[in-house]
Amino acid sequence: MTVITRIPPSPTGLMHIGTARTALYNWLYAKRHNGQMQFRIEDTDRARYAPEYVESIKDGLTWLGLTWDGPILSQFERRDRHAEIALEMLKAGKAYYCYCSPEELEEMREKAKAEGQVTFYDRRWRDADPATAPRDIKPVIRIKAPLSGESVVHDRVQGDVTVNNEQLDDFIILRSDGTPTYMLAVVVDDHDMGVTHVIRGDDHLNNTFRQNIIYEAMGWTIPVYAHLPLILGPDGAKLSKRHGATGVAEYANMGYLPEAMRNYLLRLGWSHGDDEIISTEQAIEWFDLDHVHRSPARFDFAKLENVNAHYIKEADNTRLVDLVVPFIEKKGIAVDTTGRARLLAGMDELKSRAKTLLQIADEGAFYCRSIPYDFDDKAKANLDKAILQTIRERLSGITEFTAANIEAACKDIANQNAEGKLGKVAMPLRAALTGTTVSPSIFHAAEILSRDEALKRLEFAVNLK
């Protein structure tokens, strides 16, 4: 048997973290078993459907490095197939036409509410004579749910979950306008796609009991289920916008690496001993459903930053330059080949200090600036122009413009002009060369900028009005 999983997001909003983790688990399980992960868009809600959301989901999966097999299927485009199955169940006596008016349904609902009933539909058309059907009402098709006994879902994460069949209603599978309901569409699509394992959020667990009624009515093989617990915010409430970013694209824009996000999401509900840093290759080799946690996981932004910092340190410097440049350009700074070369030369130190790509962009942007550039308020306060003029004179005489020689010159200046306090020389130098008070080692940075550029920037700072 070929293992086939699926990721079926709804294009009614941006791809969020819960969907991303579900996709990752489906992808890893398929990869582990040399199977397939298929991609289906559940786009039957046409009022909320938007093509840009489909692109957002595709972009999110691509950014995470999660590939899918075969074409992307549209649930909406398969509505005729869904209706065909509904009519097939109707013909086999597994479903029936229901002619209840909205008023009748509301009356049943109020009665059930008053009596404390779990379901409200009284099944009045289940065994009724079709000859008594009203001609002015277009019927829906309802499935015949079991009337007694129990139903069990054998779940690889939650264990065996049982409900009394009295809690299952004869739910609608085809609306009066001929369109399928979600319950029917999902089952037909999963069956036709050959899905063997349904790995999804546990908010779908109640749906599973109803969907299994369709599987059984059609005589189809029920897939293996694994319902994942929710992701909570740091405060224990359901993860939402008030906790910060929830969309995958937001994390990319905040400077997280996709491999760090994969690692973090993997551990957000699954474990392999005490391992925290797990490569994608290891994840594929180790991932199973037996070690998915039953309890909800809490999203920890500090832990995500630490994981991201690890992967930034491990990343190739040229790749980091390519990833950081767009963040610098968003600051309105044009990055030319010289700027790229300086960034690359300084990347070892930049990445050793950074938790995100944004931090690298913030601290490395000065490499790409050209005169004139702005100084932040703290930098302006550190522009001791007498010290800067002395620094400029001394650096202009250095033949080998190296970090060691620059530092030696600054120490000499400190001894002569600043009571031996190197900070009183280094801080003005940093402010002058970078426009800020936060940067990598300013002596190494000056070497990367080159003597000519450093002298030009010192002159610019000295003459600043």
The residues assigned a catalytic role are 241
Distance between CA 388 and CA 410 in Å, rounded? 10
* Token pair for 364: 């490395």
DSSP β-bridge partners for residue 296: none
Distance between CA 250 and CA 408 in Å, rounded? 45
If phi over 0 gives left and psi between -120 and 50 gives alpha, with beta otherwise, what is residue 388? alpha
Q: How many other C-beta atoms lie within 10 A of the C-beta of residue 193?
A: 18
Local structure of 133: helix, strand or coil: coil
Nearest to 247 by CA among 42, 27, 72, 53: 53
CA 155 from centre of chain: 25
Nearest 10 degrees: Cα torsion 239, 242, 245, 247: 60
Q: How many residues does the chain have?
A: 465
Distance between CA 357 and CA 154 in Å, rounded? 44
Local structure of 89: helix, strand or coil: helix
Count Cβ atoms within 10 A of the Cβ of residue 110 and give its class: 0-12 exposed, 13-18 middle, 19 or more buried.
Answer: exposed
Q: How many other C-beta atoms lie within 10 A of the C-beta of residue 165?
A: 14
